Amino acid sequence: MISCVRRFYVADCVVQPADSRLHETHQPPFQRRKKMDKAKKKSAGGKFMNRNAKTIAVPEKDVRMARSRIGVEPIASQYKGMVSAADGIGRVAAEGKFVGGSYANHAGKRSYKLYIPGAFRGQALPLIVMLHGCSQDPDDFAVGTRMNTIAEENNCFVLYPAQTESANGSRCWNWFEALNQKRNLGEPSIIADMTRDIIKTCRIDTRKVFIAGLSSGGAMAAIMGTTYSEMYAAVGIHSGLPYASARNYSSALTVMMNGNGAGEQDGNARLIVVPRRKTMPTIVFHGDRDTTVHPSNGDQIVAQLISIAAHHGRLPEGESFPHITVGQGRVNNGRTYTHAVHRDHDGRIIAEHWIVHGAGHAWSGGSSLGSFTDPRGPDAGREMLRFFLSHA
């Protein structure tokens, strides 16, 4: 086995390129148009996706452009004056190392960034897999969530897989495609195999492997928790969507704007029949003013988890609702929030649901040095890690 240190360090330099934007020599089977900017310049008889609108119309000839956007692209204008560009790219906790690499399997190739905590001396430590949102990359996401700093304080590795423009023009994870909702196929297989590679190379504690994401990354985290439930101990979903809530670009637009609605029961039924070894403990964050991914998607993520728990006999016979504890709070000089904990009949947590009042489509409690963050909300990164470690 190649040691983690030998693989990533040579005279304090990174063996593999640290650039998170991989220039591939081939295109994966789910390729997309690489550049979207040209599509914005003309409408030609139809409306393009308006990032500030509550509805999205897609002209037939621009289907490819729409498919790349619905990943989900955040609305920066919601945070004018509060969110700045990621001018802190590359800034990480001083004690650790932030290194780059890439991984390829039958479904394609992706680059990644890996945070190695300063206390690592070959011992088995936890691993958090973080999936960025649209138009982001690992550096930006690490800065915005401050997850490297949080991980350093708790002696954790953090893995940031990077989406490519060749797979999606806006670098969104393609959560809405049926191919990418199955085990051993598409993007889930790349993320899972990349996780396995880091587990093996860096002697990760396999009981403490977690996954989280924002927006399209949150939707993909839900997919990973469903299709690879033996690999991950808990899941974090921020401003994301339920598993299999869409099967193509048109249904993705609907669920993003309106929630799952009438399709909720069908989504739950699909989820229950997916083979899984356990009910996945999940923590959900969502702003109640999110106009990119409707807040009801957070409710429906929790509803799916409750359906699974009932299916596995974790609720009293004849009951379909768990025990719920609800609390409210306010961040110092910040936002108010509602925090609900859903437990089964044995007191085990099924899900935590944080609703951040007044927040839009952004990482709660993040740093303004990163994109699509809301520094005024509760610290989603710290709360997720607390939740993760309590379920190891």
pLDDT mean by block of 10 residues, the chain; 392 residues: 64 34 30 37 32 29 41 39 33 75 97 97 97 98 98 98 97 97 97 98 97 99 96 98 94 92 45 60 98 97 89 66 90 98 91 98 98 98 99 92
Distance (Å, whole) CA 254 – CA 126:
37
Three-state SS for 19? Answer: coil
Q: What is the pLDDT of residue 13?
A: 30
**Chain CA centroid to CA 91, Å:** 21
Closest CA to 352 of 331, 375, 378, 316: 378
Question: Which amino acid is present at 319?
Answer: E
What pLDDT score was predicted for residue 277? 55
Using alpha carbons, select from 21, 19, 210, 248 the residue that is nearest to residue 128: 210
Q: Which pLDDT value is given to residue 311?
A: 76
Domains and CATH numbers, the chain: 28-390 (3.40.50.1820)
Helices (H), 3-105: 4-8, 37-40, 63-69
Residue 57 has a pLDDT of 27
What span, in angstroms and rounded, lies between the C-alpha atoms of 186 and 19? 23
- Match 């025990």 to its residue by tokens: 323
pTM equals 0.79
Which pLDDT value is given to residue 320?
56
User: Rounded to whole angstroms, how far apart are CA atoms 181 and 173?
Assistant: 11
Measure Cα distances from 253 to 2, 54, 68 in Å: 44, 11, 12
Q: What are phi and psi of 37, to 5 degrees?
A: -60, -35
Residue indicated by tokens 């934007």: 21
pLDDT at residue 53 in the model:
29
Amino acid at 383: E
